[in-house]
Amino acid sequence: MPATDSHCWVGVDLGGTKILTGVFDASLKLLGTAKVSTRAERGLDTVCERIERCIREALEGAGHKLAQVRAIGIGAPGAVDADRSTVLFAPNLPGWRNVPLGRRLARALDRPVVVGNDANVCTLGVHEVELRAQPRHLVGVFVGTGIGGGLVLNGQLYEGASHTAAEIGHMILEVNGPKCGCGNRGCWEALASRTAIYRRLRQAVDAGEKTILTDWLGRELEDLRSNELRKAWHHGDKLVRRILLQTADYLGLGIASLVNLLNPEVVALGGGLIQALHAELMPRITETARARMMPGSERALTLLASRLGDHAGITGAAVLARRALEDAPARTAGVKRA
Amino acid sequence: MPATDSHCWVGVDLGGTKILTGVFDASLKLLGTAKVSTRAERGLDTVCERIERCIREALEGAGHKLAQVRAIGIGAPGAVDADRSTVLFAPNLPGWRNVPLGRRLARALDRPVVVGNDANVCTLGVHEVELRAQPRHLVGVFVGTGIGGGLVLNGQLYEGASHTAAEIGHMILEVNGPKCGCGNRGCWEALASRTAIYRRLRQAVDAGEKTILTDWLGRELEDLRSNELRKAWHHGDKLVRRILLQTADYLGLGIASLVNLLNPEVVALGGGLIQALHAELMPRITETARARMMPGSERALTLLASRLGDHAGITGAAVLARRALEDAPARTAGVKRA
């Protein structure tokens, strides 16, 4: 029921293909969501209008007014200068370079807006809402088309010298491995993302191997999604099982490297691939990862699949909004200081 | 000249084969050093006596008395519980398990003693003395028999959930790569340490390739040290040059992974191999590393070879002693609180 006198937080997950928005109450309980397509190809103005629209729709659904929103958080794909709430560049949003997204939306909506990198924001959501801010050191690993990551170290989001830390998808795991989207070879995301799975499947099909997926999607395997992979797994498809287990091994190896490096209390996995296939893959990921960790770090570690699923981004964005307003108002575009 | 009324700090670099001790004045200027062999095979009591002796010798050389020592810092090889100044285990010190080294030496010498992991301690020395605590985020990479590392994040030594962070030598860089001392395959130190260089040289010699090193050291290449590698390089030895450049490439690739992950302001290289060969290898290491970094992280980075050389350990240990006494007296064994 509408609670017209109470305030709320809004979290926005800005993706290359869709925008998801959530309205959260003061204690970060989710009250309602809305979703629109991004239409990134139509340019910056269109995307900003669509974010606005998506926020208004979610508020309407949750029975809240814009005036009740204390702050809006946004997780954006790409490099973000969190101090200025500015998107520096975003490979999946054509033409986005140095976009002062926070200031722009703050002006349009007359609410404070804070922007962070999407994988950082997801990690923040897992840390503060799912894990109740318990772990001092958390590594978030989000596996979908690529592999994104976030680091909470000493209880704080770690962003590095120029806001580009936690590019975990571009750790090198196989020096002469397959080519990555970044131009290098053997990056983790070239070995263990859905893109890597697609590449291995296509190579196998081209080499004459059989899979039920070609019956469902055609030989090109266009529009292959994580759910089809799960269905094929349960259909007993041998090729899909073999490739998914190989991918799980690569995920485990990368996690072992991260743990040897950062000795976190928790590694939390999320993203589309994990959401669809955690029951099938987590045992193998865990086994491979634990076998490769240094004993001291292995004992200290909890390895889990986040239960936030699709909502990690909006949840984390709401956390970002709340933190920005309560901890460091200067970082929030449009905030009037008391 | 002796300054009998001023206080000093002592730094100890406890290694598997030698113990190096330094006496530092209040502003961490080095006043004198002493060195003894460790004799680790003779057991814990012998090693502790030898540390004591080495401290007394350095003090004598520097014209200081034990009573002037405000605190003693020790960098120890292996896993260290820094809160309790206890060595949990040390692969190169047989029989060392849960050794309360800090408490033990504090009792013997009646001075406060604090113990940290050796690579962490070296990183602390580079950060505070060489770089004057300027970088907020620093990665230390020490290349010798293995590869050790240390992380200064947000100006503080980062030790992880159970004091085992920064095991950078056990990042996986080549999934099916050579076997590592830790039991895994393709760890960074199995690809880019002096041990890896030795393995490649031996394989090449066994396969009939020629190198001047066999004239100098015999076919087994026993006692191969970094200085011989440098001499062979300048002798124009083709095999040595090829293997060292390959090693430099692996060093660069691992550094790129670290930078993509942690986006530090500085990566500082040290250790015996770098000390002996920085002029020869740093250009190639730098070139390979920079080519593989994400653009945002690459621009923010300074990559350098530490000038502390052999003194990184004792310098960092003195920093550790000073920090422990000035910042957090509870961590220092034997400190009497005011």
Q: CB-hemisphere CA count at 13 Å for A226?
A: 19
- Split at pLDDT 50, 70, 90, the class of A2 is very low
- Split at pLDDT 50, 70, 90, the class of A78 is confident
Whether B267 and B301 have beta carbons less than 8 Å apart is answered as yes
> What does chain B come to in residues?
338
Whether A269 and A203 have beta carbons less than 8 Å apart is answered as no
Q: Which residues contact A114 (CB under 8 A, 6 or more apart)?
A: A71, A72, A73, A74, A82, A85, A102, A320, A321, A324, A325, A331, A332, A333
Task: Say if B296 is an interface residue toward chain A (CB within 8 Å).
Answer: yes
Partner-chain residue, chosen from A162, A260, A299, that has the shortest CB–CB distance to B299: A162
d(CA A204, CA A202): 5
Task: Say if B48 is an interface residue toward chain A (CB within 8 Å).
Answer: no
DSSP string, A230-255: HHHHHTT-HHHHHHHHHHHHHHHHHH
| Chain B residues within 8 A of A184 when measuring between CB atoms | 292
Residue of A nearest to B250 (CA): A175
| Chain B residues within 8 A of A136 when measuring between CB atoms | 161
User: Which residue(s) pair with B150 in the sheet?
Assistant: B140
How open is the CA angle A165-A171-A173, to the nearest 5 degrees? 165
Partner-chain residue, chosen from A88, A260, A296, that has the shortest CB–CB distance to B162: A296
Task: Say if A338 is an interface residue toward chain B (CB within 8 Å).
Answer: no
- List the 255-294 stretch of B: residues with Cβ below 8 A of A: 256-258, 260-265, 292, 294
d(CA B81, CA B83): 6
Assign A324 to helix, strand or coil: helix
d(CA A100, CA A82): 10
Whether B198 and B224 have beta carbons less than 8 Å apart is answered as yes
Tell me the nearest-neighbour CA distance from A225 into chain B, angstroms: 27
pLDDT of residue B161: 95
- List the 90-119 stretch of A: residues with Cβ below 8 A of B: none
Contact across the interface for A296 and B79, Cβ inside 8 Å: yes
Dihedral sign of CA atoms B79, B84, B86, B89 in order: negative
Counted across chains A and B, CB pairs separated by less than 8 A come out at: 145
Closest CA to A116 of A79, A145, A89: A79
Q: What are residue A145's phi and psi, to 5 degrees? A: -55, -40
Assign A150 to helix, strand or coil: strand
Dihedral sign of CA atoms A239, A242, A247, A250 in order: negative
Q: What are residue B159's phi and psi, to 5 degrees? A: -115, -5
pLDDT of residue B338: 32
d(CA B271, CA B126): 12
Partner-chain residue, chosen from A154, A159, A170, that has the shortest CB–CB distance to B294: A170
Tell me the nearest-neighbour CA distance from A26 into chain B, angstroms: 30
0.85 surpassed by complex ipTM? yes
Is A287 a residue whose pLDDT tops 60? yes
Partner-chain residue, chosen from A137, A168, A173, that has the shortest CB–CB distance to B261: A168
| Chain B residues within 8 A of A300 when measuring between CB atoms | 160-162, 164
Residue of A nearest to B288 (CA): A184
User: Which residue(s) pair with A135 in the sheet?
Assistant: none
pLDDT of residue B91: 80
Whether B142 and B270 have beta carbons less than 8 Å apart is answered as yes
Tell me the nearest-neighbour CA distance from A38 into chain B, angstroms: 25
Tokens representing B69? 């020592």
Partner-chain residue, chosen from B162, B260, B296, that has the shortest CB–CB distance to A88: B296
What is the separation of C-alpha B7 from the centre of its chain, rounded to a whole number of angstroms?
26
Q: Which alpha helices (H) appear in chain A, and where do they start and end?
A: 44-62, 101-109, 118-125, 188-192, 194-206, 212-217, 226-234, 238-262, 272-292, 295-299, 312-327
Closest CA to B59 of B29, B28, B23: B23
pLDDT of residue A60: 97
Q: What is the average pLDDT value for chain A, to the nearest integer?
A: 93
Tokens representing A82? 């969190």
pLDDT digits (tens, 9 = 90+) for A95-154: 899 999 999 999 999 999 999 999 999 999 999 999 999 999 999 999 998 999 999 999
Tokens representing B212? 């001047």
**Local structure of residue B3 (DSSP, 8 states):** -
Q: Does residue B48 come out as left (phi exceeding 0), alpha (psi in the -120 to 50 range) or beta?
A: alpha
pLDDT of residue B90: 86
d(CA B63, CA B69): 12
- Split at pLDDT 50, 70, 90, the class of A331 is low
Q: Which of A295-299, A322-326, B216-220, B323-327 has the lowest mean pLDDT?
A: B323-327
Tokens representing A161? 């010298």
How open is the CA angle A253-A255-A259, to the nearest 5 degrees? 120
Partner-chain residue, chosen from B137, B162, B172, that has the shortest CB–CB distance to A299: B162
Contact across the interface for B162 and A136, Cβ inside 8 Å: no
Residue of B nearest to A299 (CA): B162
Contact across the interface for A294 and B253, Cβ inside 8 Å: no
Closest CA to A81 of A64, A104, A100: A100
How open is the CA angle B61-B65-B66, to the nearest 5 degrees? 110
Dihedral sign of CA atoms B203, B208, B212, B213 in order: positive
How would you label B99-122 residue by residue, b for 16+ Cβ within 10 Å and e otherwise?
A: bbbbbbbbeebebbbbbbbbbbbb
Contact across the interface for A158 and B160, Cβ inside 8 Å: no
- List the 63-92 stretch of A: residues with Cβ below 8 A of B: 79, 88
Tokens representing B255? 């550094």
Whether A116 and A125 have beta carbons less than 8 Å apart is answered as no
pLDDT of residue B34: 98
Whether B262 and B151 have beta carbons less than 8 Å apart is answered as yes
Tell me the nearest-neighbour CA distance from A267 into chain B, angstroms: 12
Integer Rg of chain B from CA: 20
- List the 155-184 stretch of B: residues with Cβ below 8 A of A: 156, 158-168, 170-175, 177, 182, 184
Whether B153 and A160 have beta carbons less than 8 Å apart is answered as no
pLDDT of residue B129: 96
Contact across the interface for B172 and A256, Cβ inside 8 Å: yes
pLDDT (tens digit, 0 to 9) for every residue of chain B, 338 residues total?
444 458 999 999 999 889 999 999 999 999 999 999 999 999 999 999 999 999 999 999 999 999 999 999 999 998 898 889 999 988 888 889 999 999 999 999 999 999 999 999 999 999 999 999 999 999 999 999 899 999 999 999 999 999 899 999 999 999 999 999 888 999 999 999 999 999 999 999 999 999 999 999 999 998 899 999 999 999 999 999 999 999 999 999 999 999 999 999 999 999 999 999 999 999 999 999 999 999 889 999 999 999 999 999 999 999 999 998 887 544 555 544 33
Partner-chain residue, chosen from B154, B163, B175, that has the shortest CB–CB distance to A174: B175
Partner-chain residue, chosen from A167, A175, A263, that has the shortest CB–CB distance to B261: A167
Dihedral sign of CA atoms B240, B119, B312, B39 in order: negative
* Secondary structure element (H or E) that encloses residue B75, with its range: strand B69-76
Which residue bears the tokens 């926020």?
A: A55
Contact across the interface for B161 and A300, Cβ inside 8 Å: yes
Q: Which residues contact A215 (CB under 8 A, 6 or more apart)?
A: none
pLDDT of residue B310: 92
SS3 content of chain A, % helix, strand, coil (to 5): 45, 20, 30
Q: CB-hemisphere CA count at 13 Å for B55?
A: 31
